[in-house]
Amino acid sequence: MRNAEKGASYISILLGVMVVAFILKAIVAVWPSYWDDRVINKEIEKQIQKSASSITPSQFSTQMSQSFNMNNIRDIQFDDIARVNTENGLEVIKRYEVRKPFLLNIDLILTFEKSFDQRSVQSK
């Protein structure tokens, strides 16, 4: 009797390549937004640490806008994504979403939310 050949068929190899391409496309679409959010978080923490407790919200926003320009974050404006409050110390609440086109009429929606408090950031 003859043994049947074993191994992957052309269709299974094609499906495997399609799955890998789909995953890579998702990673390429999402990665820059997560990287920008990580840079934004670090810059907010850095500005909070070096800012005096008597800073006004407009001064803090101006400093953050300059920091965004320096770090090449040009598609997001600080005033659009964050709210600065100085009633009980410096507090920054960041909340925004990014839409990335993915496939035909399918968009990926990424939501980023985080709050920063001057006391907790300085205690780190």
Closest CA to 52 of 124, 123, 108, 122: 122
Tokens encoding 49: 């640490």
What number is the average pLDDT over the span 28-34? 93
Question: Can you tell me the distance from the alpha carbon of 29 to that of 20, in angstroms, rounded to the nearest whole number?
Answer: 14
Question: Can you tell me the distance from the alpha carbon of 36 to that of 72, in angstroms, rounded to the nearest whole number?
Answer: 9
Dihedral sign of CA atoms 19, 27, 107, 92 in order: positive
Cβ–Cβ under 8 Å, residues 96 and 81: yes
What number is the average pLDDT over the span 15-32? 94
The answer to whether the predicted template modeling score (pTM) of the entire model surpasses 0.85 is no
- 96 has a pLDDT exceeding 80: yes
Question: Can you tell me the distance from the alpha carbon of 112 to that of 98, in angstroms, rounded to the nearest whole number?
Answer: 8
What number is the average pLDDT over the span 21-43? 93
Tokens encoding 7: 């191994």
Question: Can you tell me the distance from the alpha carbon of 86 to that of 117, in angstroms, rounded to the nearest whole number?
Answer: 10
- Of residues 121 and 68, the one with the higher pLDDT is 68
Mapped onto helix, strand or coil, the DSSP state of residue 46 is helix
Dihedral sign of CA atoms 47, 115, 92, 100 in order: positive
- pLDDT tens by residue, 40-78: 999 999 998 888 777 888 999 999 999 999 988 888 899
Return the pLDDT at 54: 79
What number is the average pLDDT over the span 78-82? 92
% of the chain with per-residue pLDDT over 90 = 62
